[in-house]
Structure 1
């Protein structure tokens, strides 16, 4: 060993004690071996940005924990750098030398390339490793950032300060390995040329990884306010407002008002607050949750380096934005700036959230062009700086467990920002957030029963302390298939680049496009759903008349549902449980969602009290996954033998409703293939039988028959709602028609009556938004004649649809529908029906 190597090893030994006392490093990803397919047979050499003995020692510690090669100083006298050797792109900064390139790493890469050429079967890999201390991006205009912003860019004094104050917030981030045997590397050309190319690739990687992990440097708040007020878009609105109306205002007054809007909206990001919240939330999560499971994050980590990331999660709980930001931070990604409703801007929460990256928006911009211009400009600046952003396109928390119809305002502003021109392409990242149990469950039950939603306040915050004393099971963060906005527009033949040249006018295509964009994001969120214990147990028990089932039968039914989801997968991003039906039931019992009592004939599991209503919420989380199998099973409630083509005919007619209501992922072209896959799975499970070209259900003496009938119940409430709207249309006389608002109102009233008569304990059954979606589908599919001002009438195809839906319902329910419809018509003829409001008239 050379003298220089011996001195380096001696220096590393001296560093171990202070590092052991001061530094507690974390790594991202948590398991780089499995994520990057690293094995003990690989010849791994680490590459770091800047020369640092501290980095070598930390890699030695991590190597021991991960069973990877321990980090060590590179011995330049060796023909091939040893496993675990650390190469540095830059020398350590000094007073006379800052960021000077270290040419020694190129010589080592040349040696590795020659070794790879001589041993083509042995994998040589360069693994880039980034070191972050405190994750502080720093201010754009700050003198201190040149001394303490990064241990890799600081001198000895700066390094000491960083280790002293940020040693507990050290992150080691492993990057995608560069395999020297890869086809992308042409070993036939000169190794020196390849080494120079790889050096440039690594420099780009470290620059992009810094922004993706730490985020861009933050702008001084005063400069931000002045910049937005002085922007062209805001100044144009100010010029218009000066000449508008009777009470004219000066430009100074309007600029002052615009500045107040910026202060109301803008986040005041503080890395110190992020570290504080991270420490606080770690204690909270470990107390109330059994763990946070993250899936499909690898692709997001890679794309964050060269895309403007917009996280679009489903919105189920106030914990959503805290959980997502917390987990992204711990996974080595920059926490996003979050769009929050102005209702959350109350003391002291508003200030904390604002420092944690929240920016606030009003529920409506209508009538305030200046506020809209300021908000648009602020959002554009976030996108253009490369700051990740998060917003909930549903607008509010779902009280039913279903995805809500997207509010397209934020989506429209995002598309308009693209038209103005951005440095990076926009990438939407759908996120499914699933809970085994939510702490807002009790308040949701009250709201579903008609109780008014409580306004967020400090007093309400104090009430959360009681909820935090309970146990809530696991949380699932599943990242769905990313959506590139430019690709989305190009697929629809939209020339958005041409539209960007004329920013004064709103493009004609924008409204319909953002509606399609919102629906597509919802489908990708649902395609990344998590199937957990409470959801499966709720789905199973709600399918029974009294929400109770024999314990052994319930376990068998749960096993069947899991097997079905695996054999006919909903998507590649779905997260399925790896436990048995018995283990899932035990979890649900532990969480208190279901009860159990002993009976001489066998133990019975049941849902009791408010949990029955809340169970509809959890079953709705996964209803879209089992909707197609349930619809197929429903065919066999009234039919003994059916061909595959007949089954597909039933589904083809009804599918548009389910596609819109549940945001199911398959387009019509792919539906037939998925139906065949589900049918084959049901046949393999024994629930169906196929003979002579016909498919029939299992014998009614076979336990599989009852499982098939239970499965069929999942989609029954939806079919009943469709039948309600179709019954209202079918009952029209030749000279009659119904306005859209009237059809929605009458359908809702009829649903309330059916729910009362048939003991349907689910307030969402008569949700007006569901009937609004149904009427939308009726119009889009051409099942009604609709003339503005005169109303709707069913077409001939609608009659076929009506008979098809009725054929999937029980006879008593059919009769109940017709009887209730006649009763409503009689009341209408007597003049006792409710009067249409001005709003409903406007909608019609």
Structure 2
């Protein structure tokens, strides 16, 4: 060993004690060996950007924990660097000299390339490793930024203080390895040439990794405000406001500045570190863990794309959980669009420093505010800051995804058209909870109580809820969606709009509606099946929310069979537990009660849990909706042809596709239906006889399981039947306005719920009826006359009969009788049209708008 190597080893030994006392490093990803498929047989070389004895010691500690080769100083005398050797692209900086290129690493890489060519059966891998202290991007104009944020350019003296103050915030980030026997490396080239190329690739990697992990430098808040007010977009809005109001320029610009202060985040790395520490303690107290899936692709995308995270919105914890987990996984926490209702003391200040920017519920009528918000959002995108917003607009109280509010999507598209540095990539995120701390308030709101305004008092009330245990949380990242690719898929040519700050093309409104629906489908495709949701779905299939324990376990096992043998999507997260273990988890969380009985124990849901069970069931209903729909066909049919099943499924599917954001388009439906039928055949729920399918014998347990599967789709089928029953109860000369059809459908649902004891307020959710009336119009099942009303078309009769055939006879009869009763009561409010005259006969004093 050379004298130089001996001195480095001596330096390492001196460093170990202070590093042990001062530094607590965290690795990202947490298990690089598994994520990057590193084998014990691989010859691994660590690549770091700047020479550092500290880095070698930190890597040595990490390697011991992760079962990776021990990090060591490279012995230059060896023909091939040992596995675990560290190579540095740059030399260590000194007091009087910045870091310079270290050419020695190219010599070592060339040796490795030669070794790979000589040993094709062995795999040599270069693993880039970045080390960050505090992860502060620094301000654009700051003397301290040089010392405290650009750590790699800091000398020993500065680094000592960095370790002293930021040692507990040290991140060791592992990058995607480069295998020297991969297609990325041409072994036929001279080793020196290949080494030079690999050196360039690694430098680019470190630059991009910095952007993904630390983010761009933050702008001084005063400069941000002045810059937005002086921008062309806001300047034009100011000019319009001067003409409209007669106020002075100074007054309007002052108001614009106030809007910026109201909107803009005040991002603070110190606040992020504080929240990280605080939330770690909180999550450990109330959750059994946070399970993250499909994050690897996001790490790669963060280096090249402007990321827009679009999660589903179930809880106020969503904001914190996603940012927290991204930070701990070595990614920049996004700036989050939050409702102005959350901007109250002290929460508003904390959220603002954590990256939240605030928006009003409506921009309507305030052109100046709209211009300021648009400009602010554009600057976030253009600067490379990741953004997060909830396109549903608010928290779902039903467990279903809400219809997207397209305002933020439209502004995102407009920012892209205006021109930003990196292409936009939407990242759908499914956030699932076994239990939610807002559960109690949701029960009240579902029962019609007014939503409580966020306030300090409400915040203090959360303390009681945080004393409970809420099981696991699931963060699943869905299939990303590139905005430019989606525009191309829709055959939209936007090239002539580039550079326009206020472009609002004719296609924009319809495009963002389609875009929002597609993002919702991708969120649902990343669903996580958990114990509470599965048990809720199972018990809601019974009349009294109770089931024999062994039958429940068998049904849970059956649901898991369908999930595994006919998976909903490649991004779905399926638990490894069996039915018994899933039920045990639900019991521990206090969701169900077990009643001991000599004939067999019974599992039931009681009280508020019965209402909440519909919420949790709706989280995963889309996964089993098609399975349930197929099973429903056999409620009243003993033998069914394959063609009959396909026709029935295709007729109802547009409703499910719209209401539940089920992922398949109509062209994929036959293949998926065949897959589910085959699974039913495999488990003897169905049998094939010639060209027909027959259900299991009514005395067999498989028949009961098939009928239990059918129940999940029944509430939806009943709602569809309600609107159609009202349409077909009209006289030939009658029409009905859209609003009336929605209202009467809702009243009929409330009537049915009262008659049959359905304790699920979402059963008569008005938004569901709006959704299905929209489908009726889009599919041409109703004839709509502007300003007059709508009536069912001839093609709608087949749909109606198909849906009725999937309902039990008592339910069908009860629904039709209740509809007749309600229509009789409301006959004086129905609009009549004379067949031979376009004139309206209005029986009520007020004509309703369609």
The two structures have a TM-score, normalised by structure 1, of 0.98
Give the match for residue 137 of structure 1. 137
Give the match for residue 834 of structure 2. none
Runs of 4+ with deviation above 6 angstroms: 832-838
Deviation at 1:731, TM superposition (A): 1.0
Q: Residue 746 of structure 1 is aligned with which of 710, 721, 744?
A: 744
Give the match for residue 764 of structure 2. 766
- How far apart, in 2, do the equivalents of 1:360 and 1:431 lie? 21
Give the match for residue 23 of structure 2. 23
Q: How do 1:208-287 residues align onto structure 2 when only pairs under 5 Å count?
A: 208-244=208-244, 247-287=245-285
Deviation at 1:392, TM superposition (A): 0.2
- How far apart, in 1, do the equivalents of 2:157 and 2:344 lie? 42
Give the match for residue 386 of structure 1. 384
The gaps in structure 1 that reach 5 residues or longer are: none
Q: How do 1:765-844 residues align onto structure 2 when only pairs under 5 Å count?
A: 765-829=763-827, 841-842=848-849, 844=850
Give the match for residue 426 of structure 2. 428
- How far apart, in 2, do the equivalents of 1:486 and 1:107 lie? 42
Deviation at 1:499, TM superposition (A): 2.1
SS at match of 2:385: coil
- How far apart, in 1, do the equivalents of 2:152 and 2:19 lie? 16
SS at match of 2:476: strand
Give the match for residue 97 of structure 1. 97
Deviation at 1:759, TM superposition (A): 1.3
Q: How do 1:623-662 residues align onto structure 2 when only pairs under 5 Å count?
A: 623-662=621-660
- How far apart, in 2, do the equivalents of 1:174 and 1:708 lie? 49
Deviation at 1:829, TM superposition (A): 2.8
**2:192 counterpart of 1:186:** no
Deviation at 1:832, TM superposition (A): 11
- How far apart, in 2, do the equivalents of 1:369 and 1:117 lie? 65
- How far apart, in 2, do the equivalents of 1:77 and 1:426 lie? 48
1:707-763 Cα shifts (integer Å, max 9, x gaps): 110110000000000000001111111111111111111111111111111111111
**Does the Cα contact within 8 Å between 1:133 and 1:150 map onto a contact in 2?**
no
Give the match for residue 565 of structure 1. 563
Q: Residue 441 of structure 1 is aligned with which of 415, 426, 439?
A: 439
- How far apart, in 1, do the equivalents of 2:213 and 2:548 lie? 51
**Does the Cα contact within 8 Å between 2:233 and 2:501 map onto a contact in 1?**
no
**Does the Cα contact within 8 Å between 2:242 and 2:248 map onto a contact in 1?**
yes
Deviation at 1:837, TM superposition (A): 12
- How far apart, in 2, do the equivalents of 1:774 and 1:465 lie? 40
Q: How do 1:439-478 residues align onto structure 2 when only pairs under 5 Å count?
A: 439-478=437-476
Q: Residue 688 of structure 1 is aligned with which of 678, 682, 686?
A: 686
- How far apart, in 2, do the equivalents of 1:38 and 1:825 lie? 69
SS at match of 1:272: helix
Deviation at 1:651, TM superposition (A): 0.2
Give the match for residue 541 of structure 2. 543
1:194-225 Cα shifts (integer Å, max 9, x gaps): 11111111111101101111111100001100
Give the match for residue 295 of structure 1. 293
Gap change, CA 1:748 and 1:424, over 3 Å in 2: same
Give the match for residue 377 of structure 1. 375
SS at match of 1:243: helix
Gap change, CA 1:51 and 1:757, over 3 Å in 2: same
1:46-84 Cα shifts (integer Å, max 9, x gaps): 000111000001111111111111111111111111111
Deviation at 1:836, TM superposition (A): 9.3
Q: Residue 497 of structure 1 is aligned with which of 483, 495, 498?
A: 495
**Does the Cα contact within 8 Å between 1:55 and 1:131 map onto a contact in 2?**
yes
**Does the Cα contact within 8 Å between 2:334 and 2:386 map onto a contact in 1?**
yes
Give the match for residue 153 of structure 1. 153
SS at match of 2:713: helix
Per mean C-alpha deviation after superposition, the further-off stretch among 789-798 and 619-628 is 789-798
- How far apart, in 2, do the equivalents of 1:12 and 1:548 lie? 65
Give the match for residue 722 of structure 2. 724
- How far apart, in 2, do the equivalents of 1:22 and 1:331 lie? 22
Deviation at 1:96, TM superposition (A): 3.1
Deviation at 1:142, TM superposition (A): 0.5
Deviation at 1:3, TM superposition (A): 1.3
- How far apart, in 1, do the equivalents of 2:343 and 2:500 lie? 36
- How far apart, in 1, do the equivalents of 2:427 and 2:845 lie? 40
**2:335 counterpart of 1:351:** no
SS at match of 1:129: strand
1:458-513 Cα shifts (integer Å, max 9, x gaps): 00000001101111110000000000000000111111222225544410000000
Deviation at 1:150, TM superposition (A): 3.7
Per mean C-alpha deviation after superposition, the further-off stretch among 183-192 and 216-225 is 183-192
SS at match of 2:27: strand
**Does the Cα contact within 8 Å between 1:132 and 1:150 map onto a contact in 2?**
no
Give the match for residue 171 of structure 1. 171
- How far apart, in 1, do the equivalents of 2:829 and 2:372 lie? 50
Per mean C-alpha deviation after superposition, the further-off stretch among 408-417 and 807-816 is 807-816
Q: Residue 334 of structure 2 is aligned with which of 330, 333, 336?
A: 336
SS at match of 1:367: coil
Give the match for residue 416 of structure 2. 418
**2:605 counterpart of 1:611:** no
- How far apart, in 1, do the equivalents of 2:359 and 2:826 lie? 43
**Does the Cα contact within 8 Å between 1:687 and 1:704 map onto a contact in 2?**
yes
Give the match for residue 57 of structure 2. 57
Q: Residue 399 of structure 1 is aligned with which of 397, 400, 403?
A: 397
Give the match for residue 86 of structure 1. 86
1:595-639 Cα shifts (integer Å, max 9, x gaps): 001111010000101111100000000000000000000001010
**Does the Cα contact within 8 Å between 1:150 and 1:162 map onto a contact in 2?**
no
- How far apart, in 1, do the equivalents of 2:307 and 2:414 lie? 16
SS at match of 1:680: helix
Gap change, CA 1:785 and 1:378, over 3 Å in 2: same
- How far apart, in 1, do the equivalents of 2:30 and 2:132 lie? 15
SS at match of 2:826: helix
- How far apart, in 2, do the equivalents of 1:249 and 1:195 lie? 66
Give the match for residue 5 of structure 2. 5
**Does the Cα contact within 8 Å between 1:90 and 1:99 map onto a contact in 2?**
yes
SS at match of 1:138: coil
- How far apart, in 2, do the equivalents of 1:104 and 1:632 lie? 67
Give the match for residue 838 of structure 2. none
Give the match for residue 75 of structure 1. 75
RMSD: 1.4
1:117-150 Cα shifts (integer Å, max 9, x gaps): 1111110110000001011111011001111214
The two structures have a TM-score, normalised by structure 2, of 0.98
Give the match for residue 835 of structure 2. none
**Does the Cα contact within 8 Å between 2:418 and 2:500 map onto a contact in 1?**
no
1:677-712 Cα shifts (integer Å, max 9, x gaps): 001111111211112121111111111110110110
**Does the Cα contact within 8 Å between 1:307 and 1:424 map onto a contact in 2?**
yes
- How far apart, in 1, do the equivalents of 2:410 and 2:525 lie? 23
Deviation at 1:40, TM superposition (A): 1.1
